[in-house]
Amino acid sequence: MSIKKRGALRGCIGTYQPTEENLAEEIIANAIRAATEDPRFPPLTPDELPEVSLSVDVLSPPEECSEGELDPRRYGVIVERGWRRGLLLPDLPGVDTVEEQLRIAKMKAGISADEPCRLWRFTVERHTE
């Protein structure tokens, strides 16, 4: 779930594996967390609601892959080394190469650029308000 205020990111939290009983409950739970628990932003206030837009990305099941099977326009990526894990959605502005996609995902996971890691790719079905 992504929340934008006047086009700028205002909150974003999601899950890539189901944690709720169905997709509707998953979306509701992620919307609440994106509005109230994203550590980069203060909780969303009722006064901000008229200025926000929402988008929901429904991820396909991740499939393990190699670096050569990635395409940042088509696939998101999950990187993992031990307990460290990072996820980056596909088709993001400014992320045009696999190298950039992996650099950002590894940074999010706290994995250094030269550390090997397991890779998964996934597609996204995007729904916007």
Q: What is the pLDDT of residues 27-37, one digit of tens each?
A: 999 999 999 99
Provide the residue range defining the domain that includes 111. 63-123
Hey, what are 9's tokens?
A: 């990111």
Q: β-strands 2-5, 63-65: how paired?
A: unpaired
Tens digits of residue pLDDT in 67-106: 999 999 999 999 999 999 999 999 999 999 999 999 999 9
Look at residue 120 in the predicted model and tell me its pLDDT: 98
With respect to residue 128, please indicate whether it lies within any of the assigned structural domains: no
Does pLDDT of 17 surpass 80? yes
CA–CA gap between residue 29 and residue 23 (Å, rounded) = 10
With respect to residue 113, please indicate whether it lies within any of the assigned structural domains: yes
101 Cβ contact partners less than 8 Å away, ≥ 6 residues apart: 70, 72, 77, 88, 95
Q: Look at the chain and report how many structural domains it folds into.
A: 2
Same domain, 31 and 13: yes
With respect to residue 48, please indicate whether it lies within any of the assigned structural domains: yes
With respect to residue 6, please indicate whether it lies within any of the assigned structural domains: yes
Q: β-strands 63-65, 118-122: how paired?
A: antiparallel
CATH number at residue 84: 3.30.1490.150
Does pLDDT of 129 surpass 80? no
Same domain, 93 and 76: yes
With respect to residue 16, please indicate whether it lies within any of the assigned structural domains: yes
Hey, what are 125's tokens?
A: 């079905």
Q: Which of 14-18, 57-61, 117-121 has the highest average model confidence (pLDDT)? A: 117-121
With respect to residue 72, please indicate whether it lies within any of the assigned structural domains: yes
CA–CA gap between residue 46 and residue 110 (Å, rounded) = 34
Supply the pTM of this predicted model: 0.84
Q: Which of 10, 37, 58 is the last residue of a domain?
A: 58
Tens digits of residue pLDDT in 52-64: 999 999 999 999 9
